[in-house]
Chain A
Amino acid sequence: MIEWISKQVVLYWDIFKYLLPAVPWTILITVCSFALALVLGMIVGVLRLSRVKPVAYLAGLYINVIRGIPLLVQIFFIYFGLGGILNLDRFTAGVVAVGVCYSAYLAEIFRSGIEAISVGQHEAALSLGMTRFQTLRYVIIPQSLRIVIPPTANEFIASLKDSSLVSIIGMRELTRAGREYYSQFFVDFQTWFMVGIIYLIMTITLSRVVKYLEKLYSVRGFGSRKA
Chain B
Amino acid sequence: MIEIKNLVCRFGDMAAVDDVSYGIEKGEVVVIIGPSGSGKSTLLRCLNALQEFQSGEIIVDGIAVDKRHRNIHDLRLEVGMVFQHFNLFPHLSVINNITLAQRVVRKRGREESEKKAEQLLGLVGLTDKAESFPAQLSGGQKQRVAIARALALDPKIMLFDEVTSALDPEMIGEVLEVMKELAAKGMTMVVVSHEIGFVREMADRVIFMDNGKIVETGPPSAVLDSPQEKRTQDFLSKVL
Contacts and interface: CB of A to CB of B under 8 A. Distances in A.
| A, B in one complex | yes
B121 to A, nearest CB: 17
A131 B83 contact: no
Contacts of B105: 128-130, 134
Contacts, number: 81
B50 A126 contact: yes
Most interface-central of A126, A128, A138, A142 (chain B CB within 10 A)? A128
B104 A130 contact: yes
A124 B134 contact: no
B91 A143 contact: yes
A130 B72 CA distance: 10
B205 interface: no
A223 B83 contact: no
Interface string B68-101: 0000110011011101011111110100000011
Interface in B208-236: none
Contacts of A139: 89, 100
A128 B150 contact: yes
B48 interface: yes
Interface residues of B, number: 32
A223 B77 CA distance: 31
Contact of A128 (B90, B134, B135, B149): B149
A222 B73 contact: no
Contacts of B72: 126
Contact of A224 (B48, B135, B150): B135
A114 to B, nearest CB: 14
Interface in A122-138: 123-131, 134, 138
Interface in B103-152: 104-106, 132-136, 146, 149-150
Interface of B: 48, 50, 72-73, 76-77, 79-81, 83, 85-91, 93, 100-101, 104-106, 132-136, 146, 149-150, 153
21 contacts: A118-B87, A120-B87, A123-B87, A124-B146, A125-B101, A127-B48, A127-B80, A127-B150, A128-B76, A128-B149, A128-B150, A129-B101, A129-B106, A131-B73, A134-B104, A138-B100, A139-B89, A222-B134, A224-B134, A227-B85, A227-B88
